Amino acid sequence: MARKDVASMFAVALFIGAFAAVPTSVQSIGVCYGVIGNNLPSRSDVVQLYRSKGINGMRIYFADGQALSALRNSGIGLILDIGNDQLANIAASTSNAASWVQNNVRPYYPAVNIKYIAAGNEVQGGATQSIVPAMRNLNAALSAAGLGAIKVSTSIRFDAVANSFPPSAGVFAQSYMTDVARLLASTGAPLLANVYPYFAYRDNPRDISLNYATFQPGTSVRDQNNGLTYTSLFDAMVDAVYAALEKAGAPGVKVVISESGWPSAGGFAASADNARTYNQGLINHVGGGTPKKREALETYIFAMFNENQKTGDATERSFGLFNPDKSPAYNIQF
């Protein structure tokens, strides 16, 4: 998930209040399904839990055959990551991409509703040069297999955007993202973006209020460049991504929020109350889009379960909406 160094760009605002009803305009609220734990339910039990809660989207982080099999005829829309360990191989040749599609897509689609394939998640450093070749090769392989309805993208960390306050100043920090954006524009695929107000707030609580970061009401922030007013940090971050796409020559590319969430334990401001407030606020909010794009924003919450074998900060093990025994970590209405 997106981490670190996203805090410097946003000014203060405030927000408190009751949860709104879930908007009927939300077409897809998904939840990311990570499996870095030794006590998680079976794949089939997980799919049943999604269905019982009315969760109609899922993201998985590698081509997990057991999960894909369990998803057959479930109707759940899927983001299927290739896995960062596959990026260079798929970028290397169209035949490698074709093999991956034959092994991991053709046996399951359309019984599994694969919507997007993510060529990398938060790719960093020199590996970013493999993103566009991998995307091109996957597009060619899907087209050759008659599976061109599946869109290929990549999932970016928020720090792929620089100058993100005010939102209208957003621009991609590195040139490879211009190539990504233009490729997406040519194929009609969205940009997948991991957007975490939690990390921005954690790293800069002096200048960002908790209420602004968790969809709670209060003072608004005005973008002096375009006159738009922001009452949530999430909207400001998403609109910075849209601004960066415009500057890259891809104003028509949509954004899909491929991860967003708040930890319930393990660190600063990580509590069940804050996690509930943020995630319920996110569900209630995204049907109306952002100030810049007033249309439903397809969004995937991170994550389905608390994963006890994740490394890094203690918060990394506490982003789950559910405990491994399938009990809710806190109450959420989808």
If you compute the radius of gyration of the chain from its CA atoms, what whole number of angstroms results?
19
In angstroms, the CA 311 to CA 77 distance is 28
In angstroms, the CA 118 to CA 323 distance is 27
The three-state (H, E, C) secondary structure of 285-297, written as one string = HHHHCCCCCCCCC
- Annotated catalytic sites, by residue? 122, 259
Q: Which residues of 208-217 are buried (b: 16+ CB within 10 A; e: fewer)?
A: bbbbbbbbbe
Element (H, E) at 221: strand 221-222
Amino acid at 303: A
Neighbour-count burial of 161, counting CB atoms closer than 10 A to its CB (0-12 exposed, 13-18 middle, 19+ buried): buried
Alpha helices in 188-232 (DSSP H): 197-203, 210-213
Q: CA torsion 206→271→233→199, rounded to 10°?
A: 70
